[in-house]
Copies of this chain bind each other. A is one copy, B any other.
Amino acid sequence: MAENENGSATKRLKTDTENECGDSGELSSESPVSDFEITRILRDGAREKTIFIHGKVKDQDAVVILEKTPIRQDTLSELLKSSHLKLEMKNDVYSTYQLQAPAHLNEIKTTVVCPATEKHVKKYLHQEVFLVEESGEDYRNLTLPYINNQSFSVQWVHNILEKKAEADRVVFEDPDPDTGFVLLPDFKWDQKQLQDLYLLAIVHRRDVKSLRDLTSEHLPLLTNIRSKGENAIRQQYGVPPSKLRVYLHYQPSYYHLHVHFTSLEYDAPGCGVERAHLLSDVIQNLQADSSYYHNRSLAFPLRADDGLLAMFKKAGKL
């Protein structure tokens, strides 16, 4: 690739593989990205240096996702020695610059979905989020009927518990039908490093939907998950309990009781105070009051397109 003195390329460039979206395999001289006309920004992640764009390649809908790559330790020396610096600010011992790096040391990961359906676009579109406060009564009048009507399938959970799927991923199992559980890595964790350790304990009991169903009757189950889950993670990965965040979600993403174990140093999605409940707090609250989670108002976030949010709005609760 050739650049002129101020760094801008003047020619439209080609991809190494020039199979254009929607052209049924016919080779084209244009890349799906250089040919892409932007319609709108779906989501802008300034912190993660990522952007989700909706647009068209010829007449086809497409989504393009750009994400800057992490700074690589193995090419860091080369990066520092071969870049150009523009001074921005100098004050005492501090100075800031804009660094212009050789392109091959500073790539941007690009994902193209083409042709993209409406469902793709909706999936990537930033959705407004609202905090709902659900009383015990709201749960019984609105949320529980909603969950039952939706009849969310938890077949995939039963497949795990029955060893019909993911049997090779199980890290630990306690087979007791009342207090037992299966411990396995969450799909978000690639198991390549401990920094973002993420495991799930899924209980064998099938009669506990969520935090809302828990009473002091379930204390042996909860304390068992805590102690045996922590032990298994210490044995398997060498990570002690003081490095773990152990919690439940409310609302959960599926209504079969499960507990999250994540590395304390990993800013895991869903570990915010508005959705996560520390297992140690849950245990103490049930020890003090068996009906704690039956009666309390619980706050949680819902996306604008969530059917449950519509229920709360219709009932005048938001």
Contacts and interface: CB of A to CB of B under 8 A. Distances in A.
Contact of A97 (B105, B112, B243): B112
Interface residues of A, number: 109
Nearest to A82: B9
A31 interface: yes
Nearest to A77: B38
A288 B289 CA distance: 10
Query: In the assembly, how many copies of this chain are there?
Result: 2
A186 interface: no
Q: Counting chain B CB atoms within 10 Å of each CB, which of A87, A276, A278 scores highest?
A: A87
Interface in A262-304: 264-265, 267, 271-274, 276-278, 280-281, 284, 288-289, 296-297, 299, 301
A316 interface: no
A83 interface: yes
Contacts of A314: none
Contacts of A81: 12, 34
A106 B66 CA distance: 12
A99 B108 contact: yes
Q: Which 10 A-B pairs have the closest CB atoms?
A: A273-B276, A100-B103, A7-B104, A46-B70, A17-B87, A15-B85, A99-B108, A97-B110, A68-B68, A9-B82
